[in-house]
Each structure stands twice: as C-alpha cells, then as structure tokens.
Chain A
C-alpha cells in the first residue's frame, strides 16, 4: 500500500516535448513509471522516445488511454490552462511541477479544484513518489527505498536530504510528496496526513515545513486531534529575516507572522516530534517509532 500513486498508476505528461518535460519524463520512465501518453499542442501524432504517444489535448489522449494522473510541465504562463484542462478532463491526480505561476491564476485554479474531484499536488514542487513503484516528478529516484515512513514537504532538495536519511536509517518510505513552495498550493498537509493515517503500510510521517503562512500550525492541530501515528516535524528558516522571500514564493515572514519559532512552538505543543536540525530527521523518526 501507499498513497496517491502505485505501480498501476497510468500517467500522462503535459508538456512532454519541452526541455524539462522530456528530460524528466525519461527519468520517470527509467524509474518504472507507467507513462501512457503525453500532451503538447501541435505535436499530436508524434511519439516521445519512439514509444509514448503524444496528443494535442488531454481529451484526445483520453480516447485511447485510461489516465490516473498527470505530470504538468507546462510553462508558468500557460500552467493554469493546463491544470484546468486536466480538471475538466477529470484526471484524478494532477502533479504540477511548474514554478512561477502567478498567485491570481492559482486562486482560480484552487476554486476549480474545490468544485472538482481532482487532487492537485504542487505547483512548484518536486512531485510524488511511491518508492520502487511510481515516480511522478523530478526527485532522484535512487535515494528512495520501500519502507514505512510517509514524507510531506514544502521543499525540494531538503526533502531529498530527509529521504536519504530515512533510507540510510533503514526505515525507508511509503510515499513521498513535495506539496510545493508557493503561497497557494493544490493540497496542503492535512488531507495528505489523513491519507497516511489511513494507509496501513505507513508507520510514521515526516513533515517538512518552512517559514511563511500557517499551514504547519493547522496541520499540527489536525495531528493532535486525528492522528495516532507519530509525526516528525522540521521547519526550515529559523535564521530567515522578515519581509524577504527565501527562494520559494511562499517562504516569507510578513507582519511578524509565519516565523519558524512560532511554528515550532505550535508543533511541539500539538505533540509533533521536532527534529532540531535537518541532520537528525532520520534519528528523530527512529526515536518516534521507539526504534532507538
């Protein structure tokens, strides 16, 4: 078991012939992801890597393929259109890697998602991976190993850091999800925490947050009320100054709100196991599971 994706997930790639899209689609195929089709306007009829059929629109692709998930590499200016196309085509899972989508576009996308049955991960995220089964995203596959920890993160490479430790600690992962570093994202921590709580293979969850917004605080309240499984938390940005965007569009302390210390206080209060620095995420997970 796992959440969101597994070895049977049929994946579409939107923007499959672009630079990023083609590079990562190849890597995903190498990992074993079942990429059944790609979409790029005006490239319909061609084949990607001499195998994956490319279509002009998702509707065209859907005529021939069952599609469970789509990986979106559409450029920022057209990403909202690409996501809404996927929502209208009723793709159950949309994973949007694209960085730099305007917030106003995301407000509309979020409204469209709310009235749909689609789940979106991202944008501005590394994607979703279920170890040894299905990778939809840009993370390095080899660091992942099937195991018992679910991973949620607003970050990219920091997630790899955590996963690497979990793998080396012999714990391994079920599913690892980068939820995205933007202020408005498709799916915040809570619905995913719930899925992990319900997933029999997941024993604990690592949640990696950062400065900006209140998503971690809300998540910790959910954890306190609704989760039996231990959650290990790390928050990046203790040394970040106020009013500056720390790389991610969503990572900003404004009006004194969204600081790491506030978040850590709330997380601790709500029973989250805190990893004081990123090097001890693996150890903290072991402790939380009473393995050390």
Chain B
C-alpha cells in the first residue's frame, strides 16, 4: 500500500492507494496513524479513493485506528469510500460509526 500525507487546514489527509488486507497495507496503515497521533496530529481524514479492495482484516484495522484516535481525543473520518467498501461497512453495521464524505472540502470543514 502507498500512503501519502498532506496537511490541510490543520487536518492530516492520508491518501491511501492499494489494498487493505492481511499482511499487506494493514500494519503499515496502523503504524503511520499511530505515529501521527504521537505527534499530536489527531485530526485525520483517510482518503480511500484509491483503495480498491479491503477484507475483514482491513475492516479490523480501520476500527483499531479509529479507536486509538478517539482514545487520544482525536477524530478519524473517511473520504471517498468506494461502493464496495461502503457495502462492507454497511453489512457490518459500521457505516454509522465512521463519518464519511465524498467531498474533501466538506470533510475538512466538518472537523471544525
């Protein structure tokens, strides 16, 4: 998985590219986010536009990141999830847990 970070209005946008599956992106994503939180950057927007595939390990990973960010008083939101990833979050009843957006500007202003 490719992970790029950019800071927009004090919010870290994490641009992901690839798959979030067992032994692939998962550990890498967690490490990146945990490092961000350590540095106090705890407003995080995960841009999943280029994540084409995610399995149950990936879902678990998202939750693990979500919980960690929240425990540290931060916020983790999702941007541009694909129809299929939305389906996965829907059937696992997690869609109401994650805030998600399809417009970056709106997503960013929601952190205010």
Decide if A and B are genuine partners.
Answer: no
Interface residues, chain B, CB within 8 Å of chain A? none
